[in-house]
Amino acid sequence: MNDELPYEDQAFERVLNLTRRPVTEEQIRKFEGYAAEIFNAFGMDLETPATHDTPRRFIQALFEATDGYDGDPKLLKTFTTECRGDPDCHLAQVIEGPINFFSFCEHHALPFYGQAYVGYIAHENIIGISKLTRLVRIFAKRFAVQERIGQQVADTLEAMLHPHGVAVISLYPGLVRTESVMQAAAFLDLSNSESPQFIGRAVAALAADSGAMKRTGTVCLAAALGPEYGFRDIDGKQPKPLTIEDV
């Protein structure tokens, strides 16, 4: 932690859990050797023009994909809210989403991806709307689990802004009928699929729920929210939550 920062910024750095990774070029070269040894043992031919630099590219890509540990100085800037105690201030929600993110599962060190929706009710301070995306990605670009990313974002917003309330919920969709999915429709079973509008209805239901704060740090299945909040897909169907047997 940087002891020269003001006290509030030091508290902010603590909640970000920054490590400022001091990895030297000598260490990088050593890691490339380890990667080459693993790839070779697992069957990769490293003596081809396409694979000769694969260990170097792999280590460099892994280091860059986990640079959330190093922080983001642009997150430190906050602004004074223009809402001065009016009755509607407690209702003035700031919501950003979907925020696409990629991360590495800390259990297997393999990538996973998702979408986050971040919302808070401003009190004295606010941040630029783009900073919510930066905040999600600073925690996603680490070895992580989805639930912890959500809680870390909530804790950091609380430390930065001291808002009236903050909620971070990971929304997990089923098979969504996106353009790319529809192009492969002939090869897929779409009987339990979801429209993009269905996901939007799930987000709207959460945003309108005064008790949504209780869900912060959790993962919600969009299809499970339908019966709970009483909304259906645009075709009138009620998609069922996917299970591992459906994958």
Quote the DSSP letter at residue 123. S
**pLDDT for res 84:** 58
Count structural domains, the chain.
2
Report yes or no: 20 and 78 within 8 Å, Cβ to Cβ. Answer: no
**pLDDT for res 197:** 92
Are residues 45 and 101 both part of a single domain? no
**pLDDT for res 244:** 55
Are residues 188 and 237 both part of a single domain? yes
Write out the residue range of the structural domain in which residue 57 sits. Answer: 19-70
For residue 171, tell me if it sits in a domain: yes
**Which residues in 16-110 belong to E strands, given as ranges?**
79-80, 93-105
**pTM listed for this prediction:** 0.69
For residue 179, tell me if it sits in a domain: yes
**pLDDT for res 71:** 84
**Amino acid letter, 20:** R
For residue 158, tell me if it sits in a domain: yes
Quote the DSSP letter at residue 17. T
Are residues 31 and 126 both part of a single domain? no
Nearest alpha-carbon partner for 71 in 11, 129, 139, 162:
139
Kindly state the tokens that stand for 75: 């997150």
**pLDDT for res 110:** 93
Question: 23 to each of 81, 193, 225, how far by Cα in Å?
Answer: 40, 45, 44
| Low pLDDT (below 50) residues in the chain | 1-8
Nearest alpha-carbon partner for 66 in 97, 106, 99:
106
Question: With the CA atoms of 99, 160, 211 and 240 taken in that order, what torsion angle do they form, in degrees rounded to the nearest 10?
Answer: 20
Which single residue is written with the structure tokens 């697992």?
42
**pLDDT for res 87:** 56
Report yes or no: 52 and 46 within 8 Å, Cβ to Cβ. Answer: yes
